[in-house]
Amino acid sequence: MYFESREQAGQILAAELLAKYRYDDCVVVALNDGAVLVGEQIAKALHCLLTMLLVEEIQVPGEGVSFGGVSQNGGFTYNGMFSAGEVEEYTSEYHGYLEQERQQAFQRINRLLGDGGLINNDMLRDHVVILVADGLDTGASLDVAVEFLKPIRIKRLVVATPVSTVQAVDKLHVLADELHVLDVKENFMGTDHYYNQNTIPSHEETIAKINQIVLNWH
């Protein structure tokens, strides 16, 4: 399945979610800038708050694989696709590099957060949390998000994405209460491949926009 844009894919997902969650207390949490374009459509349909969890993924050098990610509270979560043995092997081999990358990732997040911040526990507590991606490959950002949500009492965790790998869907069956995935790919070609339009606002523009939305809700 291919989509004209992330907005169009978001409208299809919104139509799926509307009947069940129209009158529920929901918060749409986007996992990246592209996901905000998808999540906006869902938030509009459900008349609920849209926000974003800042996640910085750390890549294994030269392998194009995500080792894990840092969330905006500074916590680091390993990519759940790795076995315990693989985590130990990578940690041993790249210890200095990974520690440096973690620190730099957290510094980048702090610079983007500024004074306000995009998300807080009170915003999510006792709500249905709809985690939105524009595409899920390894699902590393999802691991980070689930770890971030663990201490927060939420009603239900729903994950919505237009396209996903088989491996990420397998993981989602364990992590989430409910899935809405429009297309599952055996051979995932990268998220941008499935959209005709790939114009995404800059990270800073996206964050400024969401902070304005949050202010409007207060």
How many angstroms separate the Cα of 193 from the Cα of each of 1, 39, 167, 218?
A: 11, 19, 18, 38
Among 77-86, 99-108, 112-121, 122-131, which range has the highest average pLDDT? Answer: 122-131
> In which band, very low, low, confident or very high, does the pLDDT at 130 lie, cut at 50, 70 and 90?
very high
**Global confidence as pTM:** 0.82
Between these two residues, 122 and 8, which has the higher pLDDT value? Answer: 8
The beta-strand segments (E) located in the chain are 26-30, 49-52, 55-60, 65-71, 76-78, 128-132, 156-165, 178-185
> Strands 49-52 and 26-30: what pairing?
parallel
Q: What pairs with residue 30 in β-bridges?
A: 52, 132
Q: Is the pLDDT of residue 73 over 70?
A: yes
Q: Domain ranges for the chain, please list them.
A: 6-54+116-217, 56-113
Q: Is the pLDDT of residue 63 over 90?
A: no
pLDDT, residue 152, reads 93
Mean pLDDT of 16-25: 93
The CATH number of the domain covering residues in 6-54+116-217: 3.40.50.2020
pLDDT, residue 154, reads 96
